[in-house]
Amino acid sequence: MRHRHFESILDECLRGVERGESLEAILGRHPQWADELRPLLAAAQRARRTPAAKPRLVAQQAGWQRFMGQAVALRRARQRPAFALWRPLAAAASLVLVLSFAGGATAYAASKSMPDDRLYAVKLATEEARLWFTFDENDRADVLLDQADTRLVEIGKQVEKGDPVGDNVLAAMRHRMDRAGVIIEKPGAPTDLVARANEVSARQEELLVSIQGWVSFKAAPEYGRTLAVVHDTRLALRNEPAAPSDPLVLANGVGQVVGRVEQTEGGSWTVGGVPVVVDRSTIVEGEAGSLVGKVATAAIVREGDQTLHALTVSLQNQGDVANGMRIAGVVDEVENDRIRVGDRIVTIDSHTIKDGHLQEGSQVEVIGENAGTSFAASIIHIVQPGEAKTAFAYEGEVEQVEPDRWLVGGLSFEVNSWTPVDAGALFLEPGAHARVEAVQEGGALTAQRITLLTTEEAKDAVAVEGVFQGVVDNHWLVGGLEVDVGTSTAQAPATDTLVRVVGTRSDGALAIQRVELLPPGGAGLVRLEGVMTRLGQDAWLVGPARVQITGETGIDGQLIAGGRALVWARPGLSDSLEALYVDVLDTQPLFVQDSGSLTY
Amino acid sequence: MVVDWLLPNGGASAGMSVQALSALVFAGSIRTTAHEHTYQSAQVQQEEELVRRAQQYDQEALSWFYQLFYPKLYNYGCLQLGDAQLAEDLASEVLLRVLESLHDYRFRGLPVAAWVFRIARNYVIDLHRRRQRRPQVPLFDGIPSADDDPHALAERSLAQKELYVAMRDLTEEQRQVVILKFIEGLDNAAVARVLGRSEGAVKSLQHRALLALRKMLSPEGTEEAT
């Protein structure tokens, strides 16, 4: 009773403070409670005087545009005829009518529509209609996962057409995953549904990371939001309590570092020597147990403070490493679900990303992995005419690493958040050498991929690889890169040949030691990049492909089991490829080969 | 309807009638004054009129609505979640939810803020339930604001951080009472509406919240009160 009385007095006093009365005047009315009231009123005043946080104008403005956009849509919806009140039923009835009287032509056409089609909104609405008649919650989650999966296929087709990925398809994927997540994250969700959600969300994250180069500028914020929902759903499905992902950080792009995982004494992590933050919001895929010492691929984002934060760390077992490969060559044959590149069968499924139309004669680069008797493609890049003239590879010592720039062998390369870095078994440390695959764009050199090399070359040793385009004022033009050859007397190769120029840097010029002619591109020829496994005296696997070394094979470096290599090859007599040229990237193996098999 | 896609600035694009109404509502929507009954009655009528116009998607009324509640919800989000990004999301999402339910809103004599903050509270509860996040104190290194000098920003940030940290040990309902009553200025009836509790329960929560806050807020800060 005393309590109730005091609470009322306190409340009356608080109102007095709010009216602007002085504390002493208020307490004077309740002298017997003054000692108890004073600190409470002071605490209330303290809270009341806390200045309000001010929102950012840009965020408020963005919110206003969404708000008004929604207001306009709602206003229009309200202006529709009375049956708008029965919208779900009416829409479903309309759908039935369309199917009955129009032979389903509109719905059918819509079902085939793509995100940039006018009927795409109808397709999404039709999907919604299906959900209205799915009453079981778990069934609804299953349908939502199906619909989210459809968005993956649509994105793949957009990329194939060469269209930028827009925000509508990304938003549609996000909404569906978000709603599915709410159901599946509840305790007691069926295990098969949880497993499926895990599988779908993992595939989505992989795809979203892969297609970031095709996302339109306008869609970048939605890209960040979608990736955040997908990643957070994956965390929630693992019951991993972690801070929500920041869509703005994700919108800037996701990079990749491949290398051996180490932990410093201070507890921080490195992947291939690159410092990476690994915390509870990082998803670790692969074998259980300690990460330390294992080779992994880390998907990383750059936080506002420039630290690299790992979204996922995928541990690579020896099979992953040995089976992964990149191949490049000319398409000899195209079928529905496969192409043939230099005698290799490359299989394609609905999740393969292609950035153009595949046809016989297309020059392609394929990233994928061994799938039994064939090679399963995850990404196929169709090389455009003239692309080779602005693309080159450069090898040299890593002199400086900054968030947006690497200095390698005296050349400055711009890097993005998503530039992949493959450290293999190596560490990014002073004296490391790297191979930078780059393009020249408007005078700037942009790195597209960086591979750390083990090399016993001299500190100032460099190499440049690309299509030789001619000599201008003592400069060789190789893949768009002007190389000052100083006083070198090496004979210039023929124009349009693929060359590898090896030498040393001296006073800003390249003192050429040798010029190697690489096999020209063309039908039947492939370039492979993968880990080498010795099968016999001259028989090797490069990734999953069998390669035969002959007396005619040019070899740069020492062939080493478990090391990475670039190999130019052509079909041989058996199912092996005949190596024409091998560029060995490592002097130490990623794994130790023991009795014909790879082990850690 | 012609829609101006720019953020309305201080009512420059709003008509006088809305300005006049909103000025009145801004000043006292949630406070009780010496002439509280007369004033409240006029204020409630004016707020009701603005809400009625917003329900017709009148742009000026919507602009008033947005300008009034976005900063309040952002501040509420910062104090509830301790993260500027999450607070921005909260402000935007809650206003969209408000917009979607606006047509069904029925005026019952309480400030419209009670309804808006009830939606905001549900949003926060959903967020915590869905994410099952560990408590985060990631921010208050400075909530970004373009129009502040660094000194003012630092001072504000420090004061907010102190309150946020002090409130972490309060129960969810106690925290709601502190924010809604002392920061957002709602009266007991409105707070009771947000929480779905009686006014007596709000008084009790208020008492316990202040007892806990008294221990946690710095002595310098609390002694300043006069």
Whether the pLDDT of residue A476 is over 80: the answer is yes
Q: Read off φ and ψ for residue A256, nearest 5 degrees.
A: -140, 135
Same domain, A130 and A235: yes
B150: tokens are 């660094």
d(CA A440, CA A413): 10
Which residue, among A198, A219, A95, has the nearest Cα to A148 in the 3D structure? A198
Q: What is the pLDDT of residue A504?
A: 87
pLDDT, tens only, A159-211: 878 788 888 899 999 989 988 988 888 888 888 888 899 889 988 898 888 78
Average pLDDT over residues A576-599: 63
For residue B224, which amino acid is it?
A: E
Domain that holds residue A497: 387-517
H or E element: which one contains A234? helix A220-237
Q: Is A79 on the interface with B (CB under 8 A)?
A: no
Q: Read off φ and ψ for residue B113, nearest 5 degrees.
A: -60, -35
Same domain, A185 and A140: yes
Indicate whether A235 belongs to any domain.
yes
pLDDT bucket at B99, cuts 50 / 70 / 90 = confident
pLDDT bucket at A1, cuts 50 / 70 / 90 = low
Lowest mean pLDDT among A241-245, B51-55, B153-157, B171-175: B153-157
Same domain, A411 and A481: yes
Q: What is the pLDDT of residue A479?
A: 82
Indicate whether A577 belongs to any domain.
yes
Same domain, A229 and A285: no
Chain B residues whose CB is inside 8 A of the A244 CB are 86, 131, 133
Which residue carries 């992947």 as its tokens?
A271
Whether the pLDDT of residue B26 is over 50: the answer is no
Chain B residues whose CB is inside 8 A of the A53 CB are 74-75, 78-79, 84, 87, 143, 145, 156, 160
Contact in structure between A302 and A252 (CB atoms under 8 Å): yes
Q: Residue A71 is nearest to which of B99, B156, B206, comparing CB atoms?
A: B99
Same domain, A600 and A490: no
Whether the pLDDT of residue A364 is over 70: the answer is yes
DSSP reduced 3-state for B38: helix
CB contact under 8 A, B224 and A46: yes
pLDDT bucket at A85, cuts 50 / 70 / 90 = very low
Chain A residues whose CB is inside 8 A of the B8 CB are 64
Chain B residues whose CB is inside 8 A of the A14 CB are 206
Minimum distance, in Å, between the CA of residue B136 and any CA atom of chain A: 7
Same domain, A481 and A391: yes
pLDDT, tens only, A379-415: 888 887 777 667 888 988 888 877 678 888 888 898 8
For residue A172, which amino acid is it?
A: A
Which residue carries 């595949």 as its tokens?
A358
A251, A280, A306: which is the final residue of a domain? A251
Distance from first CA to last CA of chain A, Å, rounded?
74
pLDDT bucket at B120, cuts 50 / 70 / 90 = very high
Q: Which of A263-272, B141-150, B152-161 has the highest mean pLDDT?
A: A263-272
Which residue, among A270, A321, A323, A267, has the nearest Cα to A293 in the 3D structure? A270
Q: Residue B66 is nearest to which of A19, A54, A64, comparing CB atoms?
A: A64
H or E element: which one contains A363? strand A363-371
Contact in structure between A421 and A258 (CB atoms under 8 Å): yes
Same domain, A336 and A397: no
d(CA B167, CA B161): 10
Indicate whether A430 belongs to any domain.
yes
Same domain, A511 and A531: no
Same domain, A205 and A180: yes
A272 phi-psi bin (left φ>0, alpha ψ -120 to 50, beta other): left
CATH number at residue A545: 2.40.50.320
Indicate whether A504 belongs to any domain.
yes
Q: What is the pLDDT of residue A82?
A: 39
A517, A546, A561: which is the final residue of a domain? A517
Indicate whether A472 belongs to any domain.
yes
A361: tokens are 């004669």
Chain A residues whose CB is inside 8 A of the B130 CB are 182, 185, 236
Q: What is the pLDDT of residue B95?
A: 93
Chain B residues whose CB is inside 8 A of the A182 CB are 130
User: Other C-beta atoms within 10 Å of A365: how many?
Assistant: 16
Same domain, A122 and A181: yes
Indicate whether A40 belongs to any domain.
yes
Lowest mean pLDDT among A72-81, A296-305, A411-420: A72-81
Contact in structure between B133 and A243 (CB atoms under 8 Å): yes
Q: Rounded to the nearest 10 degrees, how much is the dihedral formed by the CA atoms of A240, A243, A245, A246?
A: 180
Indicate whether A376 belongs to any domain.
no
Contact in structure between B204 and A11 (CB atoms under 8 Å): no
Q: What is the mean pLDDT of chain B?
A: 71
Q: Is A11 on the interface with B (CB under 8 A)?
A: yes
Minimum distance, in Å, between the CA of residue B108 and any CA atom of chain A: 23
Q: How many domains does chain A have?
A: 5
Comparing A545 with B173, the larger pLDDT belongs to B173
d(CA A470, CA B101): 69
Q: Rounded to the nearest 10 degrees, how much is the dihedral formed by the CA atoms of A574, A577, A580, A584?
A: -140
Which residue, among A96, A221, A242, A234, has the nearest Cα to A171 in the 3D structure? A221
Contacting A residues, span 145-204, partner chain B, CB-CB under 8 Å: 182, 185
d(CA A129, CA A123): 10
Reported ipTM: 0.76
pLDDT bucket at A421, cuts 50 / 70 / 90 = confident
pLDDT, tens only, A100-152: 333 345 555 556 778 888 778 877 877 777 777 777 888 888 889 999 988 98
Q: What is the pLDDT of residue A427?
A: 62
Same domain, A20 and A149: no
Which residue, among A228, A61, A53, has the nearest Cα to B87 in the 3D structure? A53
Indicate whether A209 belongs to any domain.
yes
Query: How much of chain A exceeds pLDDT 90, in percent?
Result: 3
Which residue carries 């998503």 as its tokens?
A418
For residue A66, which amino acid is it?
A: R
Contacting A residues, span 478-517, partner chain B, CB-CB under 8 Å: none
Question: H/E/C letters for each residue in A571-598?
Answer: ECCCCCEEEEEEEECCCCCCCEEECCEE
Q: What is the pLDDT of residue B153?
A: 60
A6: tokens are 């005091």
Contact in structure between A516 and A315 (CB atoms under 8 Å): no
Whether the pLDDT of residue B219 is over 80: the answer is no
Whether the pLDDT of residue B220 is over 60: the answer is no
A498, A517, A536: which is the final residue of a domain? A517
DSSP reduced 3-state for A269: strand
Whether the pLDDT of residue B21 is over 70: the answer is no
Same domain, A149 and A30: no
d(CA A347, CA A338): 4
**Hey, of B63, B98, B132, which one would you mutate to test binding to chain A, going by the most A CBs within 10 A of its CB?**
B132
pLDDT, tens only, A541-575: 777 677 888 888 888 888 887 778 888 887 766 66
- Residue A72 pairs in a beta bridge with none
